[in-house]
Amino acid sequence: MKLLVAVKRVIDFNVKPRVKMDGSGVDLMNVKMSMNPFDEIAVEEAIRLKEKGVATEIVAVSIGPAKAQETLRTALAMGADRAILVQTDEEVEPLAVAKILAKIAEEEQPGLFILGKQAIDDDNNATGQMLAALLGWPQGTFASKVEPASDNVTVTREVDGGLETVRLKLPAVVTTDLRLNEPRYASLPNIMKAKSKPLATKSPADYGVDVARRLETVKVAEPPKRQGGIKVGSVDELVERLHGMGISK
Amino acid sequence: MSVLVLVEHDGKSVKDATLAAVTAASKLGDVNALVVGNNADAVAQAAARIAGVSKVYVANSPALEHQLAEAVAPVAAKLMESHDAFVAPSTTTGKNIAPRVAALLDVMQITDILSVEGPDTFTRPIYAGNAIAMVKSKDAKKVITVRTTAFEKAAADGGSASVEQLDVPQETGGSEFVSLEASESERPELTSAKVIVSGGRAFGSSEQFHALLDPLADKLGAAVGASRAAVDAGYAPNDYQVGQTGKIVAPQVYVAIGISGAIQHLAGMKDSKTIVAINKDEEAPIFQVADIGLVGDLFKIVPELTEKL
């Protein structure tokens, strides 16, 4: 079975984002960029499925600027076999991303399409579900366990209040949650090898998808700041304050 | 504008998250509610009593029993022919279903809104809440998920909406429910608790995490939460996790113990009314947002606190 994984180039999760002075967005100039952490988990899961002999080929896809090539090279160094960059300088919304990915899925005919559950920049948590809807495929979102069989995949999902297990007919879409796995680091030899793996460059127009935004950003602002309060010196003082707020039995 | 709210329920009762979604929806226009499930008539009756709801649509089918997105989304999309906006709470159920509805309608979802600024303008957190974007939707129909801690709850009683049964297909869309392993807990749910005690990696082990936090939580009638670091270290299950990648909470009192206050954790709890922090590191960032701080060793402080409360 062929696997497709989608990866997004985003601000590194260790970097504190700063809102631009003019309120037009978040400043990404000279900021460290990395693969979206949930997408790393998606790539890792695909590689593990290949190592188990379930998957035969892994194709990594990214939609973004020319520099998203670096993100795809990371996926290739981790163990993906080839990559497709759909290059655009537009900020593409989940709906348009899902439309492009759906076209690629129609071409590539994967058994599973694995994506991160959300990107840590726009925090939408929508692309996987939209992709599944457009393809008419079932979806296993927020996965903490993925067990494919011959014509189905069993997915354990992290839901409010517990773990839900569903069985999906293949082909299907899976989105990853944090505990699915711990992504590996690419070794130096694999980073070297990744440089010669195939990477095709396309454009949204190649797939006939209009990437014009449906949501216009009016402005971006800092969140209201919370003021630090007081420090108490002892447990007794803390207890007194908590009693004062009426929260103890 | 007519708005359709997806009712969050467990087959028996309406969840509080629904009430916040109703408040957000009522800022847009007339509110109708959609209950999907199997034998969900009691839930539909309860939804009909929510103040501000005009009409309840109920879709009963074995295929809808577990509210899987593949079966629910077409039902909601069909009903959207007669509505202008679809509103769901940002719960795992809402987050699973709403984008699927949006794609069926060819609409870009407006995710996790914090406020309604106008009929097509909303604010929403991006970058884990480190920035707030005001966005204007150009789509004719809106699909919206609601950050439930950002809106007051509508009154659960006082309404008298009519209830209409929907004809629904028996298709499951290729997805089949296998099992639900519910976290067993006598304690309140994290997202609706008035008081939360939350622990970090400083507890050192799963045993110490529970031995120290559980009695304190019991004393306060509180829910127990955890930082991502504590979850990653295996001290607590993932559904305890508070933060950008876990649950977003806003209780009356949030007690953060042995939690340094990473950006990703603050994103999940900074809207709490009062934050109490206990940490041995005086410089920990958590103190910058805490209303009441106590510097010291949690292994001494927590038992003493539990005893004296």
- In CATH, what number is assigned to the domain containing residue A211? 3.40.50.620
Same domain, B123 and B204: no
User: Chains A and B: how many Cβ contacts under 8 Å?
Assistant: 257
B179 within a domain of the structure (yes/no) = no
Q: Is A162 helix (H, G, I), strand (E, B) or coil?
A: strand
A248 within a domain of the structure (yes/no) = no
B182 within a domain of the structure (yes/no) = no
Is A166's Cβ below 8 Å from some Cβ in B? yes
C-alpha distances in Å from residue B239, one per residue of A160, A204, B80, B165, B227: 7, 38, 32, 34, 11
A179 within a domain of the structure (yes/no) = yes
Full residue range of the structural domain in which residue B58 is found: 2-165
pLDDT at A70: 97
CA distance B106 to B83: 15
Interface of A with B in 98-117 (CB under 8 A): 98
Mean pLDDT of A82-108: 98
pLDDT (tens digit per residue) in B9-51? 999 999 999 999 999 999 999 999 999 999 999 999 999 999 9
Mean pLDDT of B107-120: 97
CA distance A80 to chain B (A): 26
Same domain, B197 and B156: no
Could you say which of A162, A231, A239 has the minimum Cβ distance to residue B182?
A: A162
Using a 10 angstrom Cβ sphere, with 0-12 exposed, 13-18 middle and 19 or more buried, the burial of residue A65 is middle
CA distance B210 to B189: 17
Could you say which of A123, A138, A158 has the minimum Cβ distance to residue B125?
A: A123
Same domain, B8 and B111: yes
Mean pLDDT of A3-12: 97
Which residues of chain A make contact with B98, given a CB cutoff of 8 A? 126, 129
Out of B96-110, B123-137, B174-188, least confident range: B174-188
pLDDT at A228: 78
CA distance B261 to B284: 7
Which residues of chain B make contact with A140, given a CB cutoff of 8 A? 175
Which residues of chain A make contact with B102, given a CB cutoff of 8 A? 95, 126, 130, 133
Same domain, B154 and B213: no
A126 within a domain of the structure (yes/no) = yes
Please indicate whether, in this complex, the C-beta atoms of A226 and B181 are within 8 angstroms of each other: no
Nearest CA among A77, A131, A87 for reference residue A108:
A131
Mean pLDDT of B132-160: 96
pLDDT (tens digit per residue) in B245-274? 788 898 999 999 999 998 889 989 988 999
| DSSP code for A196 | T
pLDDT at A123: 95
Given a cut of 60, is residue B297 above it in pLDDT?
Answer: yes
A165 within a domain of the structure (yes/no) = yes
Model ipTM? 0.94
A238 within a domain of the structure (yes/no) = no
Query: pLDDT-derived band of residue B171, with 50, 70 and 90 as boundaries?
Result: confident
Could you say which of B70, B228, B245 has the minimum Cβ distance to residue A138?
A: B70
Whether the predicted model's global pTM rises above the 0.80 cut: yes
Mean pLDDT rounded to a whole number for chain B: 94
Q: Which two tokens stand for residue B225?
A: 């939460």
Given a cut of 90, is residue B206 above it in pLDDT?
Answer: yes
Out of B73-77, B137-141, B227-231, least confident range: B227-231
Please indicate whether, in this complex, the C-beta atoms of B195 and A247 are within 8 angstroms of each other: yes
Last residue of a domain, one of B131, B165, B199: B165
Given a cut of 70, is residue A249 above it in pLDDT?
Answer: no
Number of domains within chain B: 2
- Angle made by CA atoms A111, B65, A134, in degrees to the nearest 5: 35
Mean pLDDT of B108-127: 97
CA distance B94 to chain A (A): 11
Which residue type, as a one-letter code, is found at position A174? V
Full residue range of the structural domain in which residue A96 is found: 2-224
CB within 8 A of B272, min separation 6: which ones?
A: B196, B249, B250, B251, B252, B253, B254
Q: Are strands A82-87 and A139-148 parallel, antiparallel or unpaired?
A: unpaired
Q: In what order do the strands lie in the sheet with A215-221?
A: A215-221, B131-137, B121-126, B115-118
Nearest CA among B204, B208, B209, B241 for reference residue B226:
B241
Q: Is the dihedral of CA B227, A181, A133, A165 positive or negative?
A: negative
CA distance A192 to chain B (A): 31
Same domain, B114 and B147: yes
pLDDT at A218: 97
pLDDT at A248: 61
Q: Are strands A172-176 and B115-118 parallel, antiparallel or unpaired?
A: unpaired
Please indicate whether, in this complex, the C-beta atoms of A163 and B181 are within 8 angstroms of each other: yes
A240 within a domain of the structure (yes/no) = no
Which residue type, as a one-letter code, is found at position A152? N
